Amino acid sequence: MPKIAIVTDSSAIFTREEKSQYQIETVPLNIMFEGKVYRDGVDLTTKQAYQFLEKNPEDWATSAPAVGEFLAAFKKHALQGTKEIICLTLTKSVSATWNNARMAKEIAKKELPEVKIEVIDSNTGLAGETLIILRIARAVKEGKKFQEIIDLTEKLKSKIRVYLLLETIRYIYRSGRIPEVASKVGALLPLKPILSFFGGRVHFAGATTSMEKSKEKIIKNLEENWDPSFPEISLMYIDSYEEVKKTKGKISSLLPSAQISISEFSSIIGYATGRGTLGIGFFAK
C-alpha cells in the first residue's frame, strides 16, 4: 500500500487500470428508487440506473455517502498500515459529500489518532475531480510528502475547468443547480445550454441553437485557455459515445500534445443533466 491513501467519491470516474495502479478508494454516492438504496457503480450499472430514471423519474433520487461509509474507508486504510489519508470530494455547493467526509474525519481523530486525514473540497466534480485525483495520485507514487500533496491539490483546484453541454436545461433546473431565470429562457427557446463548473459553483455559461455549435464554442475556449504543461483533458458523456469520439478527434487535431481520455458519466450526473450530455475538463493557464 502507498504511504498516502487517496479517498474520493463516485462523481470522479476512473478506469479499472487507474484504480489498480494508484489504489484509489472510491466511496459511492447513492441512488434511491422505489424504496431501495443502490450504491452508484456498485449495486447497479449506469444502463440500469437510466432504465430506472425513465421508468419513474419522480421516484428517483440521489444522496451523498453516509458518514459511516467514509469512516469505513479511512479505517480500511488504517488497518493496512496507512498513516496519512487525503480525501477529495465533490464540491460542497452541490452535495453533502464533503460535509459527511469531514464529520467522518472528526470521528476518526478519536478512533484513529495515529492517522493523519485531510478532507478537501475539490471546488469541482466530474471530469475536474477525476483530473485532480489522477494528478495527485501520480505525485503520491512519485514519493511526494503529505503537505506537498495538499499544496499541489490546492494549486490544481485553482486551475481546473469543467464545461457541460446539455441537450436541454429542464433536468438541471429540476435539480436546482441554476437560477430560475435561466431555466425560463431555456424552456421558451430550443437552446442547448452550456454550464461551467469551477470555483465551487455551477454557472450558466450561455446557450447555442445546436450541440455542434456548443462544442465549437467550448473547443475554442479550450484552445485559448488550456495549459499545455498540464496536458490531460477529460471527456465525459451520457449516451453519446459516437459524438464524444468525434470531439476527441477534433481536439487532438488542434492540440496534438493533449492527453485525452474518454469515460462515461456516473449515473448520478445523468439525473441532473439528462441524456446526451457532454463534459470537458482541463487545466487552465
Per-residue pLDDT of the chain (285 residues; tens, 9 = 90+): 568 999 999 999 998 888 888 889 999 999 888 889 989 888 877 777 777 777 777 777 889 999 999 999 999 999 999 999 999 999 998 899 999 999 999 999 999 999 999 999 999 999 999 999 999 999 999 999 999 999 999 999 999 999 999 887 776 666 665 655 555 555 656 788 898 988 888 888 888 999 999 999 999 999 999 999 999 999 999 888 899 999 999 999 999 999 999 999 887 777 777 778 899 999 999
Residue pair 213/192 in contact (Cβ under 8 Å)? The answer is yes
pTM of the model: 0.92
Residues 6+ apart with CB under 8 A from 261: 232, 233, 234, 235
How many angstroms separate the CA atoms of 135 and 28, rounded? 21
Which residue ranges form the domains of the chain, and what is each CATH number? 4-157 (3.40.50.10170), 160-283 (3.30.1180.10)
Give residue 181's pLDDT. 52
Residue pair 248/12 in contact (Cβ under 8 Å)? The answer is no
* Burial classification of residue 103, based on how many CB atoms lie within 10 Å of its CB (0-12 exposed, 13-18 middle, 19 or more buried): middle
Give residue 161's pLDDT. 96
* Burial classification of residue 240, based on how many CB atoms lie within 10 Å of its CB (0-12 exposed, 13-18 middle, 19 or more buried): buried
* Burial classification of residue 193, based on how many CB atoms lie within 10 Å of its CB (0-12 exposed, 13-18 middle, 19 or more buried): buried
Give the bridge partners for 39, in sequence order.
Answer: 30
Cα end-to-end distance, the chain, whole Å: 34
Count of CA atoms in the C-beta half-sphere (13 A) of 244: 24
How many angstroms separate the CA atoms of 149 and 117, rounded? 12
Residues 6+ apart with CB under 8 A from 105: 70, 74, 87, 117, 119
Q: What are the φ/ψ torsions at residue 188 (nearest 5 degrees)? A: -85, -25
